[in-house]
Amino acid sequence: MAVVNVLEKQNYINGFGPAPESVIEMRGIVKRYKVRKSRERFLALDGVSLSIRKGEIFGLLGSNGAGKTTLIKIMGGLLEADGGSGTVLGHDIYRDHKKIRAKVSLVAPTADVGTDNNLTVRQNLEFWAVVYNLDKSQRKGRIDEMLDFLNLRQYEHHWPMSISAGNRQKLAIARSLLVNNPILFLDEPTVKLDARGAEAVRELVKKINNEFGTTVILTTHYVFEAEELCGRVAIMHKGKIKSCDTVANLRRHLQMYDKISIECSSVSDETMAAISCLAFVIGCRRTENGLLIQTEGIYDKLLDALKLLRSHGVSINGVSTNEPTLEDVFVETIAGGT
């Protein structure tokens, strides 16, 4: 990897400026849609800029209508922007949309899109191997590999409608992986799945990223899903990216720190000073029943704080924690906290 300076790294983390080994660069992307029986045009994307790094799982988080699907269609070469500039794998989004489509894979929200229910699971993959112009000598081996990789081997001779929605979503992902493209777009891949199916798909996303090094761009309106899967998250609202960073940095930016509430005996000024000097402590104050400590990270810090209190003769009666989630960050961001 090329050496980049601190400013370049921070620009990348914030979603602006060239990313180290970036595969997608978007600058000021604008998209408007015609409104039926009206001269006005709906502004779906309003000056979106971001950089996506090779090999990361990047999340686009937002409510329905935030512009997530429109953005990935533009990045995937399926839709032309009305303004701004961008490249995907070095290809211009206006001039080279055919080249982009040949090098990326996109899985729609509904697994049944692109699936022929008159063909078995294997036959569906055979059909798409031909569509993707996969070399005939490689087709059987690649299909077998995908069936095994996605745990679909037992269903290879089943009709798609006879297997679960989760397995049909796996089939859609298997189809997209046949040609081993370096970028995979997943548009709300778990939106219509039950809890078990959704968890299986999330585990599969991690596996694809880890084993193939595939760059995954995931759209979702499930906050917990973005938190579980994504290294960085762009929060979208009304066609704009309101914030883009790691979950930890988003919390830090909004000063949404983890809190440790300790019920204990009275704490001396000397002990307060010692607690405040701990490197991970952001803030510390007395409460009616003991102490409230603000910190970045809880579980690896809690024991150190308790040991220090005990060494100062403080009796500890109880401990509770409050770790802000990405949902808290999302709500605060959309409410105008950034």
Domains of the chain listed by start with CATH number: 6-245 (3.40.50.300), 255-337 (3.30.70.100)
**Both structure tokens of 336:** 């105008």
In this prediction, residue 86 carries a pLDDT of 95
pLDDT at site 141: 93
Write down the pLDDT at residue 3: 33
Length of the chain as a residue count: 338
For the chain, give the secondary structure using H, E and C: CCCCCHHHHHHHHCCCCCCCCEEEEEEEEEEEEECCCCCCEEEEEEEEEEEEECCCEEEEECCCCCCHHHHHHHHCCCCCCCEEEEEECCEECCCCHHHHHHHEEEECCCCCCCCCCCCCHHHHHHHHHHHCCCCHHHHHHHHHHHHHHCCCHHHCCCCHHHCCHHHHHHHHHHHHHCCCCCEEEEECCCCCCCHHHHHHHHHHHHHHHHHHCCEEEEEECCHHHHHHHCCEEEEEECCEEEEEECHHHHHHHCCCCEEEEEEECCCCHHHHHHHHCCCCEEEEEECCCEEEEEECCCCCCHHHHHHHHHHCCCCEEEEEEECCCHHHHHHHHHHHHC
Counting as low any pLDDT under 70, the low residues of the chain are: 1-20, 110-112, 251-257, 296-300, 323-338
Q: What is the pLDDT of residue 199?
A: 86
What pLDDT score does 29 carry? 96
- Please tell me the predicted confidence (pLDDT) of residue 5: 41
pLDDT in tens, 167-200: 888 898 888 888 889 999 998 888 777 888 888 8
Residue 182, both tokens: 């370096």
Structure tokens at 30: 């604008």
